[in-house]
Structure 1
Amino acid sequence: MVIIDAGPLVALFDRSEHLHRVCRAALEEVHSPLMTTWPALTEAFYFLKGWDVGQRELWDFIQSGGVRVADIPEELHPRMRDLMAKYSDLPMDFADASLVVLAEDLKIRTVFTLDKKDFSQYRPRHCKHFETIP
Protein backbone atom coordinates (compact mmCIF):
# COMPACT_ATOMS: atom_id res chain seq x y z
CA MET A 1 0.00 0.00 0.00
CA VAL A 2 1.18 3.53 -0.83
CA ILE A 3 -0.22 6.71 0.72
CA ILE A 4 -0.91 9.45 -1.86
CA ASP A 5 -0.92 13.14 -0.95
CA ALA A 6 -2.99 15.89 -2.58
CA GLY A 7 -0.12 17.25 -4.70
CA PRO A 8 0.28 14.21 -6.94
CA LEU A 9 -3.50 13.86 -7.22
CA VAL A 10 -3.63 17.40 -8.60
CA ALA A 11 -0.62 16.90 -10.89
CA LEU A 12 -1.97 13.61 -12.25
CA PHE A 13 -5.22 15.19 -13.43
CA ASP A 14 -4.22 18.78 -14.28
CA ARG A 15 -2.20 18.62 -17.48
CA SER A 16 -1.01 22.22 -16.97
CA GLU A 17 0.80 21.26 -13.74
CA HIS A 18 4.57 21.37 -14.29
CA LEU A 19 4.98 17.95 -12.59
CA HIS A 20 2.14 16.26 -14.49
CA ARG A 21 4.44 14.02 -16.56
CA VAL A 22 6.69 13.22 -13.59
CA CYS A 23 3.68 12.08 -11.56
CA ARG A 24 2.23 10.10 -14.47
CA ALA A 25 5.55 8.29 -14.90
CA ALA A 26 5.81 7.66 -11.15
CA LEU A 27 2.27 6.26 -11.09
CA GLU A 28 3.26 3.75 -13.77
CA GLU A 29 6.01 2.49 -11.43
CA VAL A 30 3.74 2.08 -8.40
CA HIS A 31 2.68 -1.54 -8.16
CA SER A 32 0.85 -1.26 -4.84
CA PRO A 33 -2.66 0.03 -4.16
CA LEU A 34 -2.96 3.76 -3.44
CA MET A 35 -4.73 5.12 -0.38
CA THR A 36 -5.53 8.67 0.70
CA THR A 37 -7.73 10.45 3.24
CA TRP A 38 -10.76 12.69 2.89
CA PRO A 39 -8.79 15.79 3.98
CA ALA A 40 -6.12 15.18 1.31
CA LEU A 41 -8.79 14.47 -1.29
CA THR A 42 -10.65 17.67 -0.36
CA GLU A 43 -7.43 19.61 -0.86
CA ALA A 44 -6.89 18.00 -4.27
CA PHE A 45 -10.41 18.82 -5.46
CA TYR A 46 -9.97 22.42 -4.27
CA PHE A 47 -6.75 22.88 -6.24
CA LEU A 48 -8.17 21.25 -9.37
CA LYS A 49 -10.66 24.16 -9.43
CA GLY A 50 -13.19 22.90 -11.89
CA TRP A 51 -14.94 19.97 -13.42
CA ASP A 52 -13.08 20.34 -16.71
CA VAL A 53 -9.66 20.89 -15.11
CA GLY A 54 -9.41 17.43 -13.65
CA GLN A 55 -12.14 16.98 -11.06
CA ARG A 56 -14.06 14.63 -13.36
CA GLU A 57 -10.92 12.56 -14.01
CA LEU A 58 -10.14 12.41 -10.29
CA TRP A 59 -13.66 11.14 -9.59
CA ASP A 60 -13.24 8.55 -12.34
CA PHE A 61 -9.91 7.48 -10.80
CA ILE A 62 -11.54 7.03 -7.39
CA GLN A 63 -14.57 5.19 -8.72
CA SER A 64 -12.44 2.85 -10.84
CA GLY A 65 -10.46 1.81 -7.76
CA GLY A 66 -7.34 3.81 -8.60
CA VAL A 67 -7.21 5.12 -5.05
CA ARG A 68 -9.01 4.10 -1.87
CA VAL A 69 -10.20 6.84 0.46
CA ALA A 70 -9.84 6.05 4.15
CA ASP A 71 -11.73 7.44 7.09
CA ILE A 72 -9.61 8.34 10.09
CA PRO A 73 -11.06 6.64 13.18
CA GLU A 74 -12.05 9.05 15.93
CA GLU A 75 -9.59 7.50 18.37
CA LEU A 76 -6.74 8.69 16.10
CA HIS A 77 -7.85 12.34 16.10
CA PRO A 78 -5.77 13.19 19.21
CA ARG A 79 -2.68 11.87 17.42
CA MET A 80 -3.42 14.18 14.48
CA ARG A 81 -3.66 17.12 16.86
CA ASP A 82 -0.39 16.14 18.55
CA LEU A 83 1.39 15.89 15.19
CA MET A 84 0.12 19.30 14.07
CA ALA A 85 1.40 20.81 17.33
CA LYS A 86 4.75 19.00 17.08
CA TYR A 87 5.36 20.13 13.50
CA SER A 88 3.78 23.59 13.80
CA ASP A 89 7.06 25.16 12.67
CA LEU A 90 6.70 23.61 9.18
CA PRO A 91 3.62 23.84 9.60
CA MET A 92 1.91 20.47 9.26
CA ASP A 93 -1.57 20.92 7.81
CA PHE A 94 -4.67 18.87 8.58
CA ALA A 95 -4.34 16.79 5.40
CA ASP A 96 -0.72 15.85 6.13
CA ALA A 97 -1.61 14.94 9.72
CA SER A 98 -4.36 12.64 8.44
CA LEU A 99 -1.95 10.95 6.01
CA VAL A 100 0.73 10.41 8.66
CA VAL A 101 -1.81 8.95 11.10
CA LEU A 102 -3.19 6.66 8.39
CA ALA A 103 0.33 5.51 7.51
CA GLU A 104 1.11 4.85 11.17
CA ASP A 105 -2.14 2.96 11.72
CA LEU A 106 -1.63 0.73 8.67
CA LYS A 107 2.19 0.55 8.97
CA ILE A 108 2.70 2.08 5.52
CA ARG A 109 6.15 3.52 4.83
CA THR A 110 5.83 4.88 1.29
CA VAL A 111 4.20 8.23 0.47
CA PHE A 112 3.58 9.53 -3.05
CA THR A 113 4.01 13.26 -2.44
CA LEU A 114 5.42 16.41 -3.97
CA ASP A 115 5.98 17.74 -0.46
CA LYS A 116 9.26 15.91 0.10
CA LYS A 117 10.63 18.64 2.38
CA ASP A 118 7.95 18.16 5.01
CA PHE A 119 7.50 14.40 4.66
CA SER A 120 11.25 13.94 5.04
CA GLN A 121 11.02 15.67 8.43
CA TYR A 122 8.00 13.80 9.80
CA ARG A 123 8.98 10.95 12.11
CA PRO A 124 6.22 8.35 12.17
CA ARG A 125 5.89 5.93 15.08
CA HIS A 126 6.21 2.77 12.98
CA CYS A 127 9.42 3.52 11.05
CA LYS A 128 12.44 5.79 11.14
CA HIS A 129 11.24 7.92 8.20
CA PHE A 130 8.98 7.83 5.16
CA GLU A 131 10.13 6.74 1.74
CA THR A 132 8.79 9.23 -0.79
CA ILE A 133 8.04 8.99 -4.48
CA PRO A 134 8.51 10.38 -7.10
Structure 2
Amino acid sequence: MAKKTSPQIKIISPAMEHRVILDTGPLTAFLNRRDNYHYWMLGQLQKTTSAFITCEAVLSETLYLAGHSHAAILAISGMIREDLIRVYPVMSEYSEPVLQLMKKYSDLPASLADVCLLQMYNLGMGDKIMTLDSDFRIFRDKKSKPLKLITPQ
Protein backbone atom coordinates (compact mmCIF):
# COMPACT_ATOMS: atom_id res chain seq x y z
CA MET A 1 0.00 0.00 0.00
CA ALA A 2 2.83 2.43 0.74
CA LYS A 3 4.12 2.15 -2.81
CA LYS A 4 0.71 3.06 -4.23
CA THR A 5 0.22 6.11 -1.99
CA SER A 6 3.65 7.65 -2.35
CA PRO A 7 3.24 8.86 -5.98
CA GLN A 8 -0.08 10.52 -5.10
CA ILE A 9 1.61 12.49 -2.36
CA LYS A 10 4.55 13.44 -4.55
CA ILE A 11 2.16 15.17 -6.95
CA ILE A 12 1.50 17.93 -4.41
CA SER A 13 4.85 18.20 -2.69
CA PRO A 14 6.52 20.73 -5.05
CA ALA A 15 3.69 23.25 -4.68
CA MET A 16 3.38 23.26 -0.88
CA GLU A 17 3.16 26.78 0.53
CA HIS A 18 0.94 27.08 3.60
CA ARG A 19 0.62 24.76 6.53
CA VAL A 20 -2.45 22.71 7.21
CA ILE A 21 -2.76 20.98 10.58
CA LEU A 22 -3.68 17.35 9.92
CA ASP A 23 -6.03 15.42 12.21
CA THR A 24 -6.34 11.65 12.62
CA GLY A 25 -9.46 11.18 10.47
CA PRO A 26 -8.08 12.39 7.14
CA LEU A 27 -4.76 10.61 7.66
CA THR A 28 -6.57 7.36 8.49
CA ALA A 29 -8.84 7.83 5.46
CA PHE A 30 -5.82 8.29 3.23
CA LEU A 31 -4.28 5.05 4.47
CA ASN A 32 -7.46 2.97 4.09
CA ARG A 33 -8.99 2.59 0.62
CA ARG A 34 -12.19 1.27 2.21
CA ASP A 35 -12.68 4.37 4.35
CA ASN A 36 -15.71 6.47 3.38
CA TYR A 37 -13.50 9.54 3.09
CA HIS A 38 -10.54 7.96 1.26
CA TYR A 39 -11.35 9.52 -2.11
CA TRP A 40 -12.20 12.86 -0.52
CA MET A 41 -8.75 12.83 1.07
CA LEU A 42 -7.08 11.91 -2.24
CA GLY A 43 -8.86 14.88 -3.80
CA GLN A 44 -7.63 17.15 -1.01
CA LEU A 45 -4.07 15.94 -1.52
CA GLN A 46 -4.25 16.65 -5.24
CA LYS A 47 -5.67 20.16 -4.95
CA THR A 48 -4.00 21.49 -1.83
CA THR A 49 -0.91 23.66 -1.90
CA SER A 50 -0.40 23.19 1.82
CA ALA A 51 2.24 21.38 3.80
CA PHE A 52 0.88 19.16 6.55
CA ILE A 53 1.85 19.37 10.19
CA THR A 54 0.60 17.25 13.04
CA CYS A 55 1.48 16.00 16.50
CA GLU A 56 2.66 12.70 17.92
CA ALA A 57 -0.77 11.97 19.42
CA VAL A 58 -2.33 12.01 15.92
CA LEU A 59 0.22 9.47 14.69
CA SER A 60 -0.51 7.27 17.70
CA GLU A 61 -4.28 7.41 17.07
CA THR A 62 -3.81 6.80 13.34
CA LEU A 63 -1.59 3.76 13.81
CA TYR A 64 -3.99 2.38 16.42
CA LEU A 65 -6.95 2.78 14.05
CA ALA A 66 -4.92 1.18 11.24
CA GLY A 67 -4.28 -1.82 13.47
CA HIS A 68 -0.56 -1.02 13.54
CA SER A 69 -0.39 -2.50 10.04
CA HIS A 70 2.98 -2.70 8.35
CA ALA A 71 1.62 -0.80 5.33
CA ALA A 72 0.39 2.08 7.50
CA ILE A 73 3.71 2.29 9.33
CA LEU A 74 5.59 2.35 6.01
CA ALA A 75 3.27 4.96 4.51
CA ILE A 76 3.51 7.30 7.50
CA SER A 77 7.27 6.79 7.77
CA GLY A 78 7.62 7.65 4.09
CA MET A 79 5.52 10.79 4.46
CA ILE A 80 7.69 11.94 7.35
CA ARG A 81 10.95 11.08 5.57
CA GLU A 82 9.81 12.95 2.45
CA ASP A 83 8.92 15.96 4.64
CA LEU A 84 5.28 15.81 3.57
CA ILE A 85 4.20 15.66 7.20
CA ARG A 86 6.08 17.35 9.98
CA VAL A 87 5.47 16.02 13.46
CA TYR A 88 5.76 18.28 16.49
CA PRO A 89 6.08 17.24 20.16
CA VAL A 90 3.27 19.49 21.37
CA MET A 91 2.57 17.82 24.71
CA SER A 92 6.17 17.92 25.87
CA GLU A 93 6.63 21.54 24.78
CA TYR A 94 3.24 22.97 25.85
CA SER A 95 1.89 20.62 28.52
CA GLU A 96 0.22 23.29 30.67
CA PRO A 97 -1.89 24.90 27.90
CA VAL A 98 -2.72 21.45 26.49
CA LEU A 99 -3.94 20.25 29.88
CA GLN A 100 -5.98 23.45 30.28
CA LEU A 101 -7.62 22.78 26.91
CA MET A 102 -8.39 19.19 27.95
CA LYS A 103 -10.10 20.53 31.06
CA LYS A 104 -11.97 23.20 29.09
CA TYR A 105 -13.35 20.67 26.60
CA SER A 106 -13.72 17.69 28.94
CA ASP A 107 -17.48 17.58 28.37
CA LEU A 108 -17.06 16.61 24.69
CA PRO A 109 -14.68 14.73 25.52
CA ALA A 110 -11.72 16.03 23.59
CA SER A 111 -8.87 13.63 22.91
CA LEU A 112 -5.25 14.46 23.58
CA ALA A 113 -4.71 14.62 19.82
CA ASP A 114 -7.59 17.11 19.44
CA VAL A 115 -6.29 19.53 22.04
CA CYS A 116 -2.71 19.24 20.82
CA LEU A 117 -3.90 20.26 17.35
CA LEU A 118 -5.90 23.10 18.88
CA GLN A 119 -2.76 24.25 20.70
CA MET A 120 -0.83 24.16 17.41
CA TYR A 121 -3.56 26.30 15.83
CA ASN A 122 -3.46 28.74 18.76
CA LEU A 123 0.29 29.07 18.34
CA GLY A 124 -0.19 29.99 14.68
CA MET A 125 1.63 26.90 13.46
CA GLY A 126 -1.03 26.29 10.80
CA ASP A 127 -3.66 28.23 8.88
CA LYS A 128 -6.39 25.56 8.94
CA ILE A 129 -7.17 22.19 10.46
CA MET A 130 -8.08 19.30 8.16
CA THR A 131 -10.43 17.05 10.09
CA LEU A 132 -13.43 14.74 9.92
CA ASP A 133 -14.21 15.38 13.61
CA SER A 134 -17.30 17.55 14.19
CA ASP A 135 -15.97 18.59 17.62
CA PHE A 136 -13.62 20.99 15.86
CA ARG A 137 -16.72 23.05 14.99
CA ILE A 138 -17.26 23.51 18.72
CA PHE A 139 -13.65 24.34 19.60
CA ARG A 140 -12.61 27.99 19.63
CA ASP A 141 -9.22 29.59 19.16
CA LYS A 142 -7.50 31.68 21.82
CA LYS A 143 -9.59 34.70 20.74
CA SER A 144 -12.83 32.67 21.07
CA LYS A 145 -13.32 32.55 17.29
CA PRO A 146 -14.33 29.46 15.30
CA LEU A 147 -11.46 27.53 13.77
CA LYS A 148 -10.76 27.55 10.05
CA LEU A 149 -11.40 23.98 8.95
CA ILE A 150 -11.06 21.81 5.89
CA THR A 151 -13.83 19.19 6.10
CA PRO A 152 -15.91 17.18 3.62
CA GLN A 153 -19.16 18.78 4.88
Percent identity over paired residues: 29
Which residue in the other structure is 2:29 paired with?
Answer: 11
Tell me, which stretches of 5 or more residues in structure 2 are unaligned?
A: 1-18
Amino acid aligned to 1:95: A
CA distance in 1, matches of 2:148, 2:127: 6
d(CA) in 1 for partners of 2:137, 2:23: 14
Where does residue 64 of structure 2 map in the other structure?
46
Q: Which amino acid aligns with 1:26?
A: Q
Where in structure 1 do 4 or more consecutive aligned residues deviate above 3 Å? none
RMSD: 1.7
Contact 2:58 2:113 in 1 (8 A): yes
Match of 1:84 among 85, 99, 102: 102
Q: Amino acid of the residue matched to residue 84 of structure 1?
A: M
In terms of Rg, which structure is larger?
2
Match of 1:21 in 2: 39
Quote the Cα distance in structure 2 between the aligned partners of 1:101 and 1:29.
26
The two structures have a TM-score, normalised by structure 2, of 0.79
Within 1, Cα distance between the matches of 2:93 and 2:83?
27
| Structure 1 residue runs without a partner (length 5+) | none
Taking the aligned partners of 1:109 and 1:88, their CA distance within structure 2 comes to 25
Matches of 1:61 and 1:107, distance apart in 2:
19
CA deviation profile, 1:7-52 (whole Å, cap 9, x unmatched): 1111111111111001110122221211000011111111111113
Task: Give 2:52's aligned amino acid.
Answer: L
**What's the TM-score, normalizing by structure 1?**
0.90
Matched AA of 2:38: H
The answer for the alignment partner of 2:118 in structure 1 is 100
Deviation at 1:100, TM superposition (A): 0.7
Number of residues of Structure 1 aligned to a counterpart in Structure 2: 132
